[in-house]
Amino acid sequence: MATTQSTDTLPSSVPKLDPSGVNWPIFAERFQEAVASKKLWGHFSGSVTRPQPAGTTPTDDEKEKAQKWDDDEATARYLLSQKLPDSALMKIRRYGTVAERWAAIQLDFTSKGMFAQTDL
């Protein structure tokens, strides 16, 4: 019997990001792998953007594609929020897209992680 993994949860192998950033390298690696396996990494990298209609009135197909992107974006946002400390989540909530949120987290925690490593 094959098991399927829910798209709205991450495996326990992805640790919660420590507020100090000490586990940033392993968090980032495992998080990216887990999200990529769910085919949502493009939302984090920014390579998958919301489809725009070709004309002034979107076709049914264009509406469907935009809705799929919105649904995937919401799932990606939720996956990220599961593994962040509350303080980090509150800092990034102002950003509109997952790609913007991920960029802010990377900027903040890459420097925190380097500082935490030198402090060991």
Q: What residue has token string 């919301």?
A: 50
What is the chain's Cα-based Rg?
16
Q: What is the pLDDT of residue 114?
A: 55
Q: What is the pLDDT of residue 8?
A: 82
Q: What is the pLDDT of residue 3?
A: 46
pLDDT digit string (tens) for 2-44? 444 456 899 999 999 999 999 999 999 999 999 999 999 999 9
What's the pTM value of the predicted model, to 2 decimals? 0.85
List the domain boundaries for the chain: 23-48+61-119
Pull the structure tokens for residue 29: 């690696």
As a whole number, mean pLDDT of residues 77-102 equals 97
Long-range contacts formed by 36-39: CB under 8 A, 24+ apart: 37/5, 38/5, 38/7, 38/75, 38/79
